[in-house]
Structure 1
Amino acid sequence: MDGTDGTGGTGGTGGAGTGGTGPRRPGHRGRRPGTEPLTARSPLRLRAVLSVIALVAAAAAAIGFAVNAAGGGDDGSWAAAGLCAAVAVVAAIDLVVIARRARP
């Protein structure tokens, strides 16, 4: 069989009822269309750990660069401090998003 006869072979696009990976209707809750395991979990814990590490490292680097720039080092330390502060802000926002998604 080549899968084009509508019997659910490997060549079809997988519409509704065939178990394929075709488009799904919004709000449709049925059988999972792909090969995702039933025990699949979201990687929110790993993402939270990485965001905390990024927040701490970026905040420390921003403080270090700002102290260096304030002490007379005008070799781009203010720019580096600003960039590190921006990374820290993004990591903090990501932690807020993770906390909201982790709630049941």
Structure 2
Amino acid sequence: MPIGAQPPGRRGTVDEPYSALNLRLVLALFGFVVCTVLSVLLFRAGWTVPGWLLAAWALIAVGDAVVVQLRRRARARTEGGSDHSLFE
């Protein structure tokens, strides 16, 4: 394996690396699901302050997912709709 900033044949440079938008979208949706489930469980257990904190984090995860989806659509428009893997 060559030692360098990025494997050969990959898009992006050292100054402008490619973005993992699909992975970021999956992580945001995972964070939303986990925070929502834990928030509901904490509310049912009577712990309201941690429940509200997790509910706020769930809303932040939704906002992050919306921003990532907008960036993915913009990337698809500029690149002609090419498919990307989870890590691109």
Whether these two folds match at TM > 0.5 is yes
Deviating runs (4+, > 2 A) in structure 1?
35-38
Matched to 1:60, the amino acid is V
Once residues 96 and 80 of structure 1 are traced to their aligned partners in structure 2, the CA distance between those partners, rounded to angstroms, is 24
TM-score, with length taken from structure 1: 0.55
Aligned-pair RMSD on alpha carbons? Answer: 1.7
2:58 aligns to what? 88
Specify every segment of 5 or more residues in structure 2 that has no aligned partner in the other structure, as ranges. Answer: 13-17, 78-88
Q: What is the aligned residue count?
A: 63
Per-residue deviation, 1:42: 1.5
Which of 31, 40, 43 is the aligned partner of 1:66? 43
Matched to 2:11, the amino acid is T
Once residues 38 and 11 of structure 2 are traced to their aligned partners in structure 1, the CA distance between those partners, rounded to angstroms, is 39
Q: Are 2:6 and 1:39 equivalent residues in the alignment?
A: no
Q: For residues 15-34 of structure 1, what are the alpha-carbon distances to aligned partners after superposition, in whole Å with 9 as ceiling and x for unaligned?
A: xxxxxxxxxxxxxxxxxxxx
Matched to 1:81, the amino acid is G
Higher helix share: 2
Q: For residues 28-57 of structure 1, what are the alpha-carbon distances to aligned partners after superposition, in whole Å with 9 as ceiling and x for unaligned?
A: xxxxxxx78861332101101110110000
Once residues 96 and 51 of structure 1 are traced to their aligned partners in structure 2, the CA distance between those partners, rounded to angstroms, is 9
Once residues 83 and 90 of structure 1 are traced to their aligned partners in structure 2, the CA distance between those partners, rounded to angstroms, is 11
Which of 60, 69, 73 is the aligned partner of 1:99? 69
TM-score, with length taken from structure 2: 0.65
Specify every segment of 5 or more residues in structure 1 that has no aligned partner in the other structure, as ranges. Answer: 1-34, 70-76
